[in-house]
Structure 1
Amino acid sequence: MNIQETERGIRFEVRVLPRASKNEVIGEVEGAVKIKLTAAPLEGEANQALISFLAKISGVARKNVTIIKGETSRHKLVEITGIDKTEFLKRTGLPG
């Protein structure tokens, strides 16, 4: 999994699967964190759901989660400030 630490937090790729039965991190695929979301990919709903979900599982405010690239794609680059890689992996249960 390719999670990079930055001066302010972490940055990583996400692969989103919209219209799932529940919001959950389901693992890793091709170096990206794979996340299921209940929201549909319409009018930014899935992006907002992703931001909310990542903020909740990371224990940070929504304003600390930013989609840097891929707003209209299932493949996104996300940055979370105020957390380090070790803490993120611990909170999400992802392997290091």
Structure 2
Amino acid sequence: MKINLKVQPKSGRQEIIRVDEDSYKVFLKKSPEDNKANEELTKLLKKYFNEKNVKIIKGLTSRNKIIEVK
């Protein structure tokens, strides 16, 4: 399953909001430096979807990302 994300790093909270069927807005506490926000994002999504295989397939350095959940 592929999911579109709009990510807001350094927001002071961790929250996932479903916008529509395959789009989510994600708020992260960590900053984007040194890949910290992406690491926080994948951990949060693994917990949210209860899946072990979550991969960023597009947008590693962007706030708009496409994620694959298997």
Instruction: Give TM-score scaled by structure 2 length.
Output: 0.89
User: Given residue 19 of structure 2, which amino acid in structure 1 is its aligned partner?
Assistant: E
Q: Decide which structure has greater strand share.
A: 2
Could you list the runs of 5+ residues in structure 2 that have no partner in the other structure? none
Higher RCO (C-alpha 8 Å, min separation 6): 2
Among residues 51, 70, 73, which one is paired with 2:59 in the alignment? 70
Secondary structure, in 3 states, of the residue corresponding to 2:25? strand
Secondary structure, in 3 states, of the residue corresponding to 1:40? coil
Please give the root-mean-square deviation of Cα atoms over the aligned residues, in Å: 1.5
**Percent of residue pairs identical:** 33
Residue-pair matches, total: 69
Residue matched to 2:40: 49
Cα drift, residue 41 of structure 1: 0.8
Could you list the runs of 5+ residues in structure 1 that have no partner in the other structure? 1-9, 82-96
Instruction: Give TM-score scaled by structure 1 length.
Output: 0.66
User: Given residue 67 of structure 2, which amino acid in structure 1 is its aligned partner?
Assistant: V
